[in-house]
Amino acid sequence: MRNKKAFFSLLLALALLFGQLVPAVAEDSKTVNIGVTSTLTTLSPLAMDNTEIVKYAASLVFLPLVELNRELEFVPQLAESITTEDNLNFVITLREGAAWSDGTPVTAEDVEYTLVLAADPDTANASLAMYAVEGTDDGGLIERGAQSISGVKVQDEKTLTVTMKWPTALYTFENNFGRYLLTVPKHVVEKLERESLLTNPWFNQPDVISGPYFIQQADLQHYVHFVANESYFLGAPKIRYLNMNVVSAAQMLSGLTSGEIDLVQQTMGSIPVEDYEAVRNLAGVKAVRGTPVTNESIFINTARVSDARIRKALLLGMDRESMFDALLEGNGELVDGFLVSASPYFAEDLGVTAYDPEEARRLVDEAKADGAETNLTWYVNSSESTWGQAVEYFAAMFEEIGLHIEIRTVDLANLMDIAGNGEHDIMSVEYTYAPVDPYTDVAWLLGGEGSWTGYSTDEVAQALALTQELTDVDEITQQFLVVDRAMQDDVAMISGWVLASLGAVNERVTGAEPDVFGTFVDVQNWDIQ
């Protein structure tokens, strides 16, 4: 026994692949290591940004109301159902057995309290459309320190209603509030100082949770270690420890080969396209091609690049098809605008703008003669290696048409800060628009001042509003087509390409199927052979 203990002590003394240490665990424990290629900005559900890694890491601790599964269906998590009869008043019904890890039932008051925090100026959450909730101002805020919102009413212990200011489609409410409102325990959090909740260290290691895993230890630049919540109301997880380890994309293949990475989920971890075939051929590893929904979105800050001719020249001056064929080898698709073919609202007749360097050069010359700026800065996510190569090629193409592009490569956390502060001319990032609900993200991205594009027109706003009132799929499709055609003409956003990202899982892990959506819905049922 002493020799076995010495062996385990040695293992624990060694760094995991890429320098991360596993937590001290029992000899018979089950551990799954998840490889991710972006750092985290926070673990607090109150401070969540729009990155997938933060959403899923926080959701392991504090459950969303509902979640999308692999079939793009909204399935219960903390809530049993979300319903509406008029697209204005939404009824949230919590699961009867939903409980916090300390045994206290999860109640409608917990959800109401979390919504109040999301609208309080001291704790406002930009990832939720609180501006659409009755009782908030145009910015989605209420009076500092308020205890309620007029549009949110508790009906009984397990039921509350949320009233919207304008018609909102059920799928939009479920995707935004259902998936991104991570309810916190009122009986614990209300004892903390509200003014400093966004930075309160309690959220880095909360002792009362609703999800399947506690946070055991975290270094947001390098790892998050989770330990099972044995009191999880949907059943104690069979996997005792989950580790999210931040690695570079180039290290994914070697980590999967050695077994030091057990799982790669498509929106949190990036496997370079050039390694796809090698991953598919790994013994003992199942490669999973994700639905092509991950859009390499290029956002142009129209407040800084105000001349539409320059923006149009950017679209016409990049040979997306050549880069797609050379670098993605067919693992995805090309589209214009926001919607992808997996969306029920995708319009095939939109077409894809062709590479036209002569017209692009004409537009640049014309705009430059009128004083337009032709020196632009493009911020790129450092974890997207394949896309980084493409941007270098595009920059060379732009030089040929009279645009000089300075490429600045930064990590995801810094990219979010830069974009949020509007410091970019151009920025690009992998963005996963839920195919069943393009509205939530598109309405924010084209929301005028404060959005990443700074772009808004009456025509686009009206079309987006109609998507929330109409029920016929074809009619909704026509309204989203208005939006995507505006992107072809005014060019506030360009789709570089849509990637069918590759995920992977070690075959020793059962019950885990990495996909763009639904990977962690039943994480408590994962096991190790």
pLDDT in tens, 176-233: 999 999 999 999 999 999 999 999 999 999 999 999 999 999 999 999 999 999 999 9
DSSP 128-151: S-GGGBTTS-TTS---TT-S--TT
Distance CA 516, CA 509 (A): 18
β strands within 229-351, DSSP E: 241-246, 263-264, 285-289, 294-300, 332-333
Q: Name the band, by pLDDT with cuts 50, 70 and 90, for residue 28.
A: low
* Mean pLDDT score, 92-103: 97
Q: Name the band, by pLDDT with cuts 50, 70 and 90, for residue 5.
A: very low
Q: Is residue 199 within 8 Å of 69, Cβ to Cβ? A: no
Domains by residue range for the chain, with CATH: 2-41+211-286+502-528 (3.40.190.10), 62-194 (3.90.76.10), 294-499 (3.10.105.10)
Pick from 252, 232, 255, 230: which is nearest to 240 by CA? 230
Give the helix/strand (H/E) hosting 442. Answer: helix 438-445
* 408 phi/psi in degrees, rounded to 5: -120, 120
Q: Is residue 381 within 8 Å of 410, Cβ to Cβ? A: yes
What pLDDT, in 10s, does the model give residues 434-452? 899 999 999 999 999 989 9
